[in-house]
Copies of this chain bind each other. A is one copy, B any other.
Amino acid sequence: MRILILGGDGYLGWPQAIYLSQKGYDVAVFDNLARRHFDLKHGIDSLLPIQSLQRRIERWAELTGKQITKYHGDATDYKALAHAFQEFEPDAVVHFAEQRAAPYSMIDREHAVYTQYNNVIGTLNVLYAIKEFAPSCHLVKLGTMGEYGTPNIDIEEGFIEIEHKGRRDVLPFPKQPGSFYHLSKVHDSHNIMFCCRIWGIRATDLNQGVVYGAETYETALDPELATRFDYDQIYGTALNRFCIQAATGYPLTVYGSGNQTRGYINIKDTVRCIELAIESQPASGEYRVFNQITEWFSINDLAAQVERVGTRMGLSVQREVVSNPRVESENHYYNVVHTRLLDLGLQPHLLDDAELESMIALTLKHRDRIDQRLILPTVNWRKAENEVAMVERIPTPA
């Protein structure tokens, strides 16, 4: 079975590529290297050193004898995308090729426009490429739990049965996304659902929670297979950032009351979820949504766990409350249905002390690579234009 991974050089795309390759799938990656370009532009880097995409693929072949095909291209460039579809003839396409940071989308107008342009038009192109070149290809699309926001009712998996004035229907779950990035995913979801209906495309939309973890079993096989690990205010998600802060003696930065609750998932489960989606292909025309999380925590829950584990490791861990740069409910109901992936066979790696210890230990190993100026949030949702230290600063000699 041939799997084309769009965004196959990223934090999740790369581990996904080698996970599926290991499992015997024929894998190709397609990437525009936008995430690496951001680092180059701002003179920053992943906490874990990562190899070029060429070297990663080469190293994987050296170690396993398995080949991964590489395409350099941008999903908004239909010619490049069409070429990959026509040449590789995928049975499934896993679509990670989107701008994936909420703070990035809130920097200013240019970044908001880039995010929605890149994500919405890229996904439209993917839908057309499937229709034109691979009509039975299964689209596995990364959505986000952030599409739902925090309604005062249970969050269902994509659809909800509504009884209203004596009539009933099963309708798309109402969306209340919290950034221009999250909005772009909502736009994608609507576009995909429509194309399933009119063209008979088969799609799985994975509304993923916040991913944590620095390694999968495959990336841990060799340092040259490492995936990127981000700790900055733009790309560093809460738990990853806390581990890094604990390891470097920087206080854990809690935004506002810290009662904001979100769904989380271990990177080891992410790669498995996508395999489960691929294995259980939807029918022609079917648009299905899985909530890809395994548990949920408030920011304060996470901070407390990192504090406890870090302290046991001999670190001095403090918490610092910072003014919340986002506009979001800090006290809200949160209960998420997430049974569909479990029903398909997912066995979750729940967050435990061993995982936290290993994340903190990995960070300690690379602590000399951390630039603490990148951590504090400066992107404020309330402003149309934000000064981003990492964007502005000119690196100076140490």
A38 interfacial contact with B, CB 8 Å: no
Let me know if A175 and B172 touch, CB within 8 A. yes
Q: Which of A27-35, A88-96, A152-160, A271-279 contacts B (4 or more CB under 8 A)?
A: A152-160
Let me know if B128 and A384 touch, CB within 8 A. yes
Let me know if B384 and A199 touch, CB within 8 A. yes
A116 interfacial contact with B, CB 8 Å: yes
Q: Which of A119-127, A215-223, A343-351 contacts B (4 or more CB under 8 A)?
A: A119-127
CB distance from A106 to the nearest CB of B (A): 9
Known A-B contacts A109-B124, A112-B128, A384-B199; the reply to A152 vs B165 at CB < 8 A is no
Specify the chain B residue showing the minimal Cβ separation from A194: B183
Let me know if B124 and A116 touch, CB within 8 A. yes
Chain B residues closer than 8 Å to A198, beta-carbon distance:
327, 381-382
Known A-B contacts A109-B128, A197-B327, A384-B132; the reply to A187 vs B151 at CB < 8 A is no
Let me know if A183 and B174 touch, CB within 8 A. no
Chain B residues closer than 8 Å to A190, beta-carbon distance:
175, 177, 183, 186-187
A23 interfacial contact with B, CB 8 Å: no
A313 interfacial contact with B, CB 8 Å: no
A393 interfacial contact with B, CB 8 Å: no
- Which residues of chain A from 186 to 204 have a CB within 8 Å of any chain B CB? 186-187, 190-191, 193-194, 197-199
A354 interfacial contact with B, CB 8 Å: no
Let me know if A164 and B154 touch, CB within 8 A. yes
Count residues of chain A with CB under 8 A from any CB of chain B: 51
Chain B residues closer than 8 Å to A176, beta-carbon distance:
171-172, 193
Let me know if A154 and B165 touch, CB within 8 A. yes
Chain B residues closer than 8 Å to A153, beta-carbon distance:
162-165, 167-169, 171
- Which residues of chain A from 57 to 97 have a CB within 8 Å of any chain B CB? 78
Let me know if B152 and A169 touch, CB within 8 A. yes
- Which residues of chain A from 357 to 383 have a CB within 8 Å of any chain B CB? 381-382
A389 interfacial contact with B, CB 8 Å: no
Let me know if B128 and A121 touch, CB within 8 A. no
A235 interfacial contact with B, CB 8 Å: no
Let me know if B125 and A109 touch, CB within 8 A. yes
Let me know if B172 and A183 touch, CB within 8 A. no
A2 interfacial contact with B, CB 8 Å: no
A36 interfacial contact with B, CB 8 Å: no
A333 interfacial contact with B, CB 8 Å: yes
Question: In the docked arrangement, what's the CA distance between A169 and B131, Å?
Answer: 38
A25 interfacial contact with B, CB 8 Å: no
Let me know if B124 and A113 touch, CB within 8 A. yes
Question: In the docked arrangement, what's the CA distance between A160 and B223, Å?
Answer: 52
For the complex of A and B, list the 10 residue pairs with the smallest distance between their C-beta atoms, beginning with the closest: A171-B174, A152-B169, A153-B164, A187-B187, A198-B327, A109-B128, A131-B384, A172-B174, A153-B167, A151-B169
